[in-house]
Amino acid sequence: MDHATAHHGGHDHEHHHARESGHDHGSSRSMALSATLHCLTGCAIGEIAGLMIGTAVGLSSGWTIALAVGLAFLFGYTLSTLPLVKAGLGVGAALGVVLAADTLSIATMEVVDNLVMALIPGAMGAGLVDVTFWVGMPIALAVAFLAAYPVNRYLLQRGKGHALTHGYHDAPADPTGARRFIPSFATSTLVAAIAAFLLGGLVVSAADQLDAGGTHGAAPAVVQR
């Protein structure tokens, strides 16, 4: 083989390696994005439910945070476990996979989410018809997403995190028996539903505060004698 051929072959190998590397990086980013959105949906449902319950019943900030974190882990694990059980795993085995795959991601989201909510003035103690609550929540969730994304990508690149569950999600066999009735929740559908719920809460609370402001600012009625 002459030098030119060897040189050309070397370039071909380098270009092929670059294409493969680029594909791997693109796949890693896509999988990390999907994994982070998946974790975010469970965390968001639990966080919103926990903060709503805590503020509704008048819990202290500490107990409200504890409730929100507990529900976030519960919903996060549940949404990840259901597809694995539907794919054929036993509940115990599925939960074991999910605990290994999601715990670090959910924990990262919870620490960041609650920290941001605590830093936003009045967000933790805001009522359910307070604009501060409905503005603070999506901000906190967005920051939590940005914090968890590099964590998920790091884990995926090392065959950990959501990489542990992908093989089960791609199982070709159709579920049989009672597994057929296990619901399937598309991440995009859950994200849209959560966004719509947050927007609805913001609209309702803003309308309530505007109405209250208009009532308080109205001129007193003249009493007829």
Residue type, 63: W
User: Residue 171: which residues within 8 A CB-CB, separation 6 or more?
Assistant: 87, 88
CA distance 213 to 225: 29
pLDDT at 28: 72
pLDDT at 83: 86
Which residue is it, tokens 């900030």?
61
Residue 43 · residue 113 · CB < 8 Å:
yes
pLDDT at 1: 52
Which residue is it, tokens 């599925």?
94
Q: Which helix H or strand E contains 44, and what residues bound it? A: helix 3-57
pLDDT at 224: 45
Tokens of 118: 């605590």
pLDDT beneath 70, residues of the chain: 1-26, 163, 166-176, 214-225
